[in-house]
Amino acid sequence: MILVAVATAILIIPSPTPHGGEARVFIEQKPAPSLNILWAEWKPADYLQKLTREFSKETGIEVNITQRSWSDWQQHFANEMGHKSQRYDMVIGDSQWLGYGAEQGHYVNLTHWMKRHSVEEQFISTALKGYSEYPKGSKRYWAIPVEGDAMGFAYRKDLFNDPAEKAAFSARYGYELDVPKTWFQLRDIAEFFYRPAEDLWGLMAWQEPYYDGLTMAMQTLLWGWGAGLGDQESYQVKGILNSVEAAEALLFYKQLVQLSNPDWRNYYLDTEASSNKPMIEGKVAMTMVYFAITPELLDPAKNPYANEMGFFSTPAGPAARATSLGGQGISLISYSKKKEYSLQFLEWFISKKTQEKWSELGGLSCHIEVLKSARFLDASPMHQAFSESFEFVEDFWAVPEYAELLKQSQQHWSFYLNHDSISAKDTLDNLAQEWEQTFEQSGYYRE
């Protein structure tokens, strides 16, 4: 008997001998090359898994998308990176992870690769800034945009277009009921449809205090009022986060959430407590959404009001128009032994042909030609608002300490919304103090 060890999988091949007998040759075959990608548990991950079948056909490289629940996804990734695990070759992570991944050595620097493949010329600049670049303004890139997303709104067209409702609104507010162009118009509309006795509410507004829902909503108003989170280069927070304009924005949001059902306070991304749920139940006129989770609203099998769904991008504040970035980019994990395969996958993924297929499956592409094409804009009622949003998206801090900063903003803003014992200005003063302490302790204020 002859034993030949080549790789790992064993194949037994009968072989005749000179004496008429049979020898068995044991050949261990090499396993098919594969890639493992970590992402959150949601529909776009299903779309990507389906899309990768084309890549596997072309290359012979199998791709496995591991999905983790939203509540576990971030911590699971951090645990894996803490052990320098090789379980995953790539991760599709939130934009806020960029600083953590880059500074801790978990991500591969893709700057030169992206230049060689003209990624800057192919993908929309705001997406690259949000999903790929760290530090901001450095032109150093650590990810490729995968699932574009932004905060926006869904609304009931049948309510907005009802002649009786339009007449009553015009008589009360002095202008026509239509998609709001400003936050003040949005407040008027939410107030108009605030009818608790009928179990109809004006707005489903994000207030979720545990992950990032409240912060994603609130920072949008800060930018709209001419304030902000702080200086992205100097990390100065005081005078920006706690400005007079910021206090006005926070007070406005506290007034706005009163037009929502208090039972929806924790509604956000969870399946059982999704911000889509009140709309599907016919209990709200408008709801905050991420565009990536709106397909459920357009599915008649899930939403009886699917044919009445309209969408609009975040309206303007008194000083500017801005909205929160959602979505994720894909990064190479530095501990992977399959970087060659990963780069081959990225080269395939960024092509216009693949991006078009990604869009057809339900993904939200950030490829310029795809995003602006009539084919894309006409494919879904929400695509126009989504595409428009990328002209003014902004993002939260993307520093390694983002999780701590996020926890602090969630806590301070949630307390303010739910208690009358503290003012908007004091809330922001306290948060600004805490954020600057976090930056100082991390060495950001070296003289």
Query: What pLDDT, on the 0 to 100 scale, is given for residue 14?
Result: 55
Residue type for position 119:
V
pLDDT given for residue 8 in this prediction: 44
**Residue 350 host element (H or E):** none
Residue 330 has pLDDT above 70, yes or no: yes
DSSP 25-56: EEEEEPPPPEEEEEEESSHHHHHHHHHHHHHH
How many CB atoms within 10 Å of residue 200?
17
Percentage of the chain surpassing pLDDT 90?
A: 89
Q: Contact at 8 Å (CB) between 37 and 332?
A: no
Q: How far is CA 394 from CA 147, 239, 267, in A?
A: 16, 19, 23
- Residue whose structure tokens are 């277009």: 161
| pLDDT band at residue 284 under the 50/70/90 scheme | very high
DSSP 231-286: -TTT---TTTTTSHHHHHHHHHHHHHHTTS-GGGTT-BSSGGGBTTHHHHTT-EEE
| Residue found by looking up tokens 């090789």 in the block | 86
Residue 304 burial (C-beta neighbours within 10 Å; 0-12, 13-18, 19+): exposed
Residue 207's pLDDT is 97
Quick check: helix, strand or coil at residue 61? coil
pLDDT band at residue 4 under the 50/70/90 scheme = very low
Please report which confidence band the pLDDT of residue 6 belongs to, taking 50, 70 and 90 as the band edges. Answer: very low
What CATH class does 150-324+399-441 carry?
alpha beta
The Cα-based distances of 378 to 67, 116, 375, 381, 437 in angstroms read 30, 33, 6, 7, 48
State whether residue 367 is helix, strand or coil: strand
Please report, for residues 7, 94, 95, 157, 292, the alpha-carbon distance to residue 134 in angstroms, rounded to integers and kept in the order given.
41, 13, 10, 40, 24
CA 385 distance to own-chain centroid: 16
**pLDDT attached to residue 19:** 54
Question: What is the pLDDT at residue 79?
Answer: 97
**Phi, psi dihedrals of residue 13, rounded to the nearest 5°:** -120, 115
Q: What is d(CA 418, CA 169) in angstroms, rounded to the nearest whole number?
A: 30
Percentage with pLDDT > 70 across the chain: 93
Preceding peptide of 209 cis, ω within 30°: no
The average pLDDT across 352-364 equals: 97
Statement: residue 363 has pLDDT above 60: yes
pLDDT band at 446 (very low <50, low <70, confident <90, very high): confident
Residue 39 has pLDDT above 50, yes or no: yes
Distance of CA 313 to the CA centre of its chain: 15
Q: Taking 60 as the threshold, does the pLDDT of residue 245 lie above it?
A: yes
- Is the pLDDT at 3 greater than 80? The verdict is no
pLDDT, greater one: 270 or 103: 103
At 25, the pLDDT band (50, 70, 90 cuts) reads low
Closest CA to 315 of 176, 189, 156: 189
Residue 12's pLDDT band, with cuts at 50, 70 and 90, is low
Is residue 312 within a helix (H) or strand (E), and if so which, with residue range?
Answer: strand 309-313
Distance CA 178, CA 435 (A): 39
Looking at residue 176, its amino acid is E
Name the residue among 382, 383, 153 with its Cα closest to residue 275.
153
**Residue boundaries of the structural domains of the chain:** 1-31, 150-324+399-441
Rounded mean pLDDT, 302-313: 98
pLDDT at position 2 is 31
The residues facing 323 across adjacent strands are 393
